[in-house]
Amino acid sequence: MVSRVVFGRGSFNQLGDIIAPKRLNTKAPFIFLVDDVFKGNSEITSRIPLAYDDQLLYISAENEPKTSQVDELVEQIILNHKDRPSGIIGIGGGTILDLAKAVAIMLTNEGEAKNYQGWDLVKTPAIYHVGVPTISGTGSEVSRTTVLTGPEKKLGINSDYTPFDQVILDPELTNGVPKDQWFYTGMDCFIHCIESLNGTYLNAFSQSYGEKAYELCKEIFMDASLTQAEAQDKLMMASWHGGMSIAYSQVGVAHAMSYGLSYLLGTKHGIGNCIVFDHLEEFYPEGVSMFKAMKKKHNIQLPQGLCAGLHDDEFDIMINVALSLEPLWENAIGKTWKQVITRSKLKSLYQKM
Ligand code: NAD
Ligand code: ZN
């Protein structure tokens, strides 16, 4: 779990005070990995507490993080600074937060990031790392994974060293999020709840967080009486609780199939989950009907025909990626999932998308 967290509108101003005691020496910089959407946005950038040899690197969130990108960043940081950094601070959405976690791990672990995709392969603690989310929903700020696309697979580095040492939850930072993106990333949280609460891995720990996050999502996306600030605050906490819920259970059908879309077509996590979830009535009837109501209420049009015109070998690639995520299927369907989830079943679902 994340060991330290502050919450509150304006709490981003505390970043300098929070990290100062963690500075190892004046030659050991803090490296700030910042979503390049904030380039030129002085409201945010002027509050980043740069000192000594600290470095700010703007990173595009256009594509999801790759293992090769992590390796390049680590190399760049090592080449630019004589001393190992005092810490990595990620400021952005799930893309930047995952990069920050992975870079912090790979600064102390030998070899390439792709070698650590899996469960508990990291042996050395990461350097101090701080997460500052600027969009809510993925739960990356609280999770013990960093999802990376490697040469062979899309899979997280899941380890006890992955979670942030410190998180700053400042809902004001989400002010500029475009509406469609707000919905897609928010629905990632909603889908985490549905998949966790309807999964066979559910237990009292994940249920208690999942139910809270689900309730918050219903309020945020269905109750018109919330002010914008209330909705931002609540979505930041829903994301946190949704992430905590799946930490002790698992996601399910939408995530498994969305990983396939993402691997083949580069479809991003939030929108990919929405595209898949829209067709999963048979697995999650209540969740999907609530999702459709939310989509309608916010006038969201999802892309159609994504898989039209794909060849059989392309369907095979998506199906292979989806089927490789065995714990997700076991959580969703149970131990006998292989009897229900056949290749032709998955193909017919993908063909609808
Ligand atoms: P994102 O980080 O990809 O950002 C989406 C878009 O929103 C980008 O264009 C970004 O620039 C923009 N944006 C972010 N904050 C903004 C702001 N305040 N104002 C204006 N624009 C802003 O989106 P995401 O949905 O948060 O993250 C998706 C990533 O998270 C995927 O790579 C996915 O694999 C990962 N993920 C990780 C976990 C985990 O537990 N580690 C869980 C779920 C998803
Ligand atoms: Zn997700």
Residue 203: the pLDDT is: 98
Q: What is the pTM of this model?
A: 0.97
Distance 100 CA to ligand 1 centre (A): 13
Distance 137 CA to ligand 1 centre (A): 8
Residue 116: the pLDDT is: 98
Does the CB atom of residue 232 touch ligand 1 within 6 A? no
Residue 216: the pLDDT is: 98
| Most ligand 1 atoms within 8 A of CB, residue of 155, 181, 271, 276 to mutate | 181
Closest ligand relative to 256 C-alpha: 2
Confidence of residue 91 (pLDDT cuts 50, 70, 90): very high
pLDDT digits (tens, 9 = 90+) for 249-269: 999 999 999 999 999 999 999
- In terms of Cβ atoms closer than 10 Å to its own Cβ (0-12, 13-18, 19+), residue 30 is buried
Domain boundaries, the chain: 4-174, 179-350
CATH assignment, 179-350 = 1.20.1090.10
Report percent pLDDT > 90 for the chain: 98
Work out whether the CA dihedral 148, 150, 154, 159 comes out positive or negative: negative
Does residue 176 have a pLDDT over 90?
A: yes
Residue 260: the pLDDT is: 95
Q: Please give the CATH architecture assigned to the domain spanning 4-174.
A: 3-Layer(aba) Sandwich (3.40)
Backbone angles phi, psi at 112, to 5 degrees: -105, 155
Q: How many helices (H) and strands (E) does the chain have?
A: 14, 9
The overall average pLDDT reported for the chain is 97
SS3 207: helix
- In terms of Cβ atoms closer than 10 Å to its own Cβ (0-12, 13-18, 19+), residue 107 is buried
Residue 244: the pLDDT is: 97
The residue written with tokens 């989509």 in the block is: 295
Distances (CA, A) of 66 to 116, 167, 171, 217: 13, 23, 27, 30
Does residue 349 have a pLDDT over 90?
A: yes
CB atoms within 5 A of ion ligand 2 belong to: 188
Rounded Cα distance, 336 and 181, in Å? 36
Closest ligand relative to 184 C-alpha: 1
pLDDT digits (tens, 9 = 90+) for 303-326: 999 999 999 999 999 999 999 999
Q: What average pLDDT does this structure show over 53-81?
A: 97
